Structure 1
């Protein structure tokens, strides 16, 4: 009996990811009522050398009789100064019948791919079908994945990239120079945010970067950063002007200041949130209903996404 556990690397995941296939797998996963997902463990812990807390995340999910898994991840916001990603971890993928470990997957790229695919899945319901332009706010590990995922579901011809420095933004564009769309680095968010069809933001900014005063009718806003209750990427006016959607009610209502703060202020209520991905993918509720509405999707991540992505890459690895 071969007791060697397959180890699926970031390189394999990066080289074999087809966003169209992964997005479809997530759509099926979110419409599968059998998958069980307990509330993830979210533990902030002190990091004295950085004078800023880090976070430990434990994210289990079960597809009874088929497979299950758990992601162990850490978030260290200051890792950029050490040339390390902010999010690091491993995914343990197991057999749902006998409980043995089927594979261990590096979680950096797994997380980036599934997060980007979830945003693009939401965009397929929420952005205008003719969306041809996009602004990417942030230049971290997620940015290239979000751009590739969004451009796989909409006919995007031009992508603008903003980061803390123009040099970082240009580096993203250089990495995408062979894609079918044009990629342009910009100095200021307000230069293009009012013109684009899709705005995607993935930053660790503690204060809003997407301001409601800049938003125009028909836009779609995709918020992926701000993973703590006291941080946010969009301001109150952006929430007021938008129809709000979540990846899941389970985490989305509690884990990010983008939703938790407006809820606490009475600017937003659970009843006014339009839908989550479970409801959209199961056709229980509708996404965009007019070309003029502003839609806003908040993603905090969900263990179902990790399990579906682990299964997707495991099957590719077995071929």
Structure 2
């Protein structure tokens, strides 16, 4: 059985291959039951979350991710997310691989945002704003830079020192990153804004979004979290990774649905419809687009299969 740690998982998930693997999975016959979402009390701290996310391609592969999210881990200099992915044969049930779930989650989340931006961001977008300085930030920068000539990447965080460090780490990877203190000014000039925070209050005002901007929201994963306000929802054409997930779990969708700023009918498409061409993405260079991702188990399965086949040279668990 293959066991991949964080570094090995990262090496086994090259960005271009991962983006294409996720696109192919959205087009395919993957089965994704509703994920299990449990709150766990941590005395004296914010509640933690336990996620169990199964998915399978009939007769080929099956898998489940066990993921924990502890928001206050930053105070301990620990990642907020820990997890493990268990990949099995979809024909025999044999366990094939144990894969680092935190790294898999970070990379597949960023790759999914980059895939959505392929359909929703302007082709000539060259300025990216990253809001947040956690694990996802570097991954989002790298993924959005795949096939896109980004000239400027701005990094904003509540902690300026963390933003400076994240920008420095990005420059070490060859990305044109700089830390910024003024989120409004950075948002007003950005072509793509990608938010990866655990905020419960909107960070991005819709009034700041320029014509042609693309807003990518990946941080909020509960109905009580929010990264953009109702004005952003009203001004933008809204897209989601999956309607079922976003409309039940994402505060950036759930709350506007309750307030009337958004209706189910005005969600233009989910990612599978963009990928298979049944619904259009951006139609005009002046459109403001918004993509809300809460994560789908098929994205994890796509990444796990890619990592397993990348390392072992296997082509299909049915062989």
TM bucket, shorter chain: over 0.9
Q: d(CA) in 1 for partners of 2:280 and 2:240? A: 13
The corresponding residue for 1:40 is 35
| Cα distance, 1:162 vs structure 2 | 0.3
Equivalent-residue separation in structure 2 for 1:15 and 1:307 (angstroms): 17
The whole-number CA distance in structure 1 between the counterparts of 2:12 and 2:38 is 32
Check conservation: 2:132, 2:155, Cα contact below 8 A: yes
Aligned twin of 1:18: 14
5, 10, 13: which is aligned to 1:9? 5
* Secondary structure of 1:71 counterpart: strand
Once structures 1 and 2 are overlaid, which stretch shifts more, 108-117 or 81-90?
81-90
TM-score (structure 1 length as normaliser)? 0.96
Q: In the comparison of the two structures, how many residue pairs are matched?
A: 313
Matches of 1:270 and 1:216, distance apart in 2: 25
**Equivalent position of 2:204 in the other structure:** 210
Residue 289 in 1 paired to residue 289 in 2? no
Which ranges in structure 2 are unaligned for 5 or more consecutive residues? 314-319
Pair 1:239 & 2:225 matched? no
Please tell me the root mean square deviation across aligned C-alpha atoms, in Å. Answer: 1.0
For 1:99-248, what aligned pairs fall within 5 Å after superposition? 99-248=93-242
Compute the TM-score of the two structures, normalised by the length of structure 2: 0.96
Return closer, same or farther for 1:142/1:6 CA change in 2, 3 Å cut-off: same
Q: Is the 8 A contact 1:177 1:183 kept in 2?
A: yes
Is 1:76 paired with 2:59? no
Q: Deviations over 1:267-289 (max 9, x none)?
A: 10110000011111111101100
Task: Measure how far apart 1:174 and its partner are.
Answer: 1.2
Query: Given that residues 222 and 297 in structure 1 are in contact (C-alpha distance below 8 angstroms), is that contact kept between their aligned partners in structure 2?
Result: yes
CA contact (8 A) 1:90 1:107 kept: yes
